Structure 1
Amino acid sequence: MTITELDRDTTTAESVYTAGGIVVTKLGERIGARIDGVRLSGSLASATVEAIRYALAVHKAIVFRDQHHLDDEEQWAFAGLLGTQTQSHPTVHSKGKRLLPIEGAANSWHTDVSFVDRIPKASILRAVTLPPYGGATTWASTTAAYEQLPDALKALVDNLWALHTNLYDYAEKLDAGSSDPALTEERRRYQDEFRRNTYETIHPVVRVHPETGERTLLLGHFVKEFVGLESSETAALLQLLQSRITKLENTFRWSWESGDVAIWDNRATQHYGIADFGDHTRRLHRITLAGDIPVGVDGSRSRVVQGDASEYSVVEEPARLPGFDGH
């Protein structure tokens, strides 16, 4: 069952939401919803946790308002109800090993930590300090993008693999929008830490979502090359596929307010932090949850070329959710 079909037949979803005591409001046709009626904590009822998980599977990116009571500890405790928390990052440890402070904006489309074999299944982001303007985050549905591909393109990408790596040019992205030399130097130090260990993993371009059975495009700015293609061919095809993913109708944009929390399914989305807030401070705290090793259409799994991510995260194999039967 596709997300469109599930949305048309809302019996399962509504019963899960009602049992969990949450109210789900769609914010976009293909991605995005706001969840009301819940005070996030580490002591939520199991029915509420399952309702949140289900809403995430259906809507791919969900947001919560007015969670002012959350601090780092309570955010960590809440995250543990949804899965096993990873370390903050495979390479960036200078700011702690549990939460990763997001300072600035990525300024490019990506799936979190796709350069390791065990890509996180979800990310939980909490607003801490916000600029007076700008700094929104936009998510794109890689599930919707795949569903919209013509059959000829599906036939191509279903059998295509891509090399993802953390060794790419962060400097230009990090420096965008900043005129403060001190900020630029700090970001260059972050870049050096980000790249201190090399990770390279070959992933299927189309992965089968373990909980929904949907097919999603696994791409983003960590892609270095498509296996078997020349660099010019990689660039052209990546641009084509990314344009499909980031088509405005496949996206959902959120303007942050104090007390906001966002959760996204990292297996079915890309996101983009917009660097349009000048030299103002933008700080959000992120926790990622352990995921599985991606499986392609033919059943083959991602394979490591370089780098051991076992200290960063365990591997978790989730069960299929009710109401989904894939394609």
Structure 2
Amino acid sequence: MADIQIRKVTANIGAQISGVDITEPLDEETTAALREALNVHKALVFDAEGLDDEGQQTFVRSFGDVTTAHPTVAAVDGAPNVLPVDSERGRAANHWHTDVTFVLNPPQASTLRSITIPPYGGETLIASSAAAYRDLPESLRRLADTLWAEHTNDYDYAVPEEEIDEEQAAQRALFTSIKYRTVHPVVRVHPLTGERGLFIGGFAQRIVGLSPGESRKILDLLQAYVVRPENILRHRWSENQLVLFDNRITQHYAVDNYDGLPRRLHRVTVAGDVPVGIEGKESYSIEGDASHYTTVATTTAA
């Protein structure tokens, strides 16, 4: 087993990992130790010097099956499991979200690896939805426990259609080329730790049983707890870094503050399980088949 050192970065989320060479295959003990660190800290930062696309995929496979790059968006050429997160392809990630929650079983974990980093800006914010849930007043927590939300990739964009150019319009059309609608619990129970977290974000568009206007007010109220500064890791990228975060109990946001300079990360994700609410009920799909994108992971309930 590697001699792992874990340095906590903030009180509620994030740890810097050293003593592990992630360019080499991980043994079972090291993988278990990293999984436990991820359970505790929600986001882990690694030195990725020498890691390429194949090595990133090998690292991710230590934690489970690898998904394809995305249900609708094209992968890196020759690497169907690697998604380019590239400023030249638009800035669709500059909204708070959990990856691919519009499908029935979103990824359990995501990795981002720095390829091209601007000289300033371009941070990735990662928020603990577990800390957000703990912050809720008791009355609001009881309400959230009862709610279910519909997630879709046909979501409300921050920039209206009339303000985007043809290329951006084409990217949006590709993103929604298969329409997905899935209902998830607003409060998800983590299958490994039993922690409760607010499972919402940008793809959550409507609370089941409420009007769009009522839904937006409640979702905005809950989201305000997720994005409290004390619940956020603000990761300033350096070259050759990899960040692993638990997609089941975090949200993230790519900050567009680098004046359009080149910025490129590569994303590889781990197939996830079907979310479960506090009463043990699973999420359910309304529209869209994601079987080409991901297998369904099985986990032992906490």
How far apart, CA to CA, are the structure 2 residues paired with 1:277 and 1:211? 37
Aligned equivalent of 1:198, options 153, 167, 179: 179
Is 1:102 paired with 2:65? no
Whether 2:99 is the aligned partner of 1:121: answer no
Q: Counterpart of 1:278?
A: 259
Matches within 5 A, 1:146-161: 146-161=133-148
**Cα distance, 1:186 vs structure 2:** 3.8
Tell me by how many angstroms 1:169 deviates: 4.0
User: d(CA) in 2 for partners of 1:36 and 1:293?
Assistant: 32
Q: Which amino acid aligns with 1:56?
A: L
The reply on whether 1:88 has 2:69 as its aligned counterpart is: yes
Q: Secondary structure at the match of 2:30?
A: helix
Give the C-alpha shift of residue 185 in structure 1.
4.4
Alignment-derived partner of residue 31 in structure 1:
13
C-alpha contact 2:148 2:184 (8 A) present in aligned 1: yes
Deviation of residue 20 (structure 1)? 4.2
Compute the TM-score of the two structures, normalised by the length of structure 2: 0.93
The alignment partner of 1:172 has SS state of coil
Say whether the 8 Å CA contact 2:69–2:75 is kept in structure 1.
no
| Number of aligned positions between the proteins | 296
Instruction: Give the percent of matched residue pairs that are identical in Structure 1 and Structure 2.
Output: 45
The 1:42–1:87 alpha-carbon spacing in structure 2 relative to 1, beyond 3 Å, is farther
Give the 3 Å change call, closer, same or farther, for CA 264–175 of structure 1 in structure 2: farther
The residue correspondences of 1:66-77 to structure 2 (distance < 5 A) are: 67-77=48-58
What is the match of residue 192 of structure 2? Answer: 211
Alignment of 1:34-45 (within 5 A): 34-45=16-27
Question: Would you say the 8 A contact 2:205–2:216 is kept in 1?
Answer: no
Scaled by the length of structure 1, the TM-score of the pair is 0.86
Corresponding residue number in structure 1 for 2:215:
234
Q: Structure 1 pair 317/20, CA: closer, same or farther in 2 (3 Å)?
A: farther
- What is the aligned-residue RMSD (CA, Å)? 1.9
Q: Is the 8 A contact 1:171 1:191 kept in 2?
A: no
Q: How far apart, CA to CA, are the structure 2 residues paired with 1:72 and 1:164? A: 30
SS of match in other structure, 1:243: helix
What is the deviation of 1:150?
A: 1.4
Query: In structure 2, what is the Cα distance between the partners aligned to 1:98 and 1:171?
Result: 28
User: Structure 2 vs 1, CA of residues 149 and 93 (structure 1 numbering), >3 Å: closer, same or farther?
Assistant: same
Distance 1:139 1:21 in 2: 26
- Residue 24 of structure 1 deviates from its aligned partner by 0.3
For structure 2, the 5+ residue unaligned runs are: none
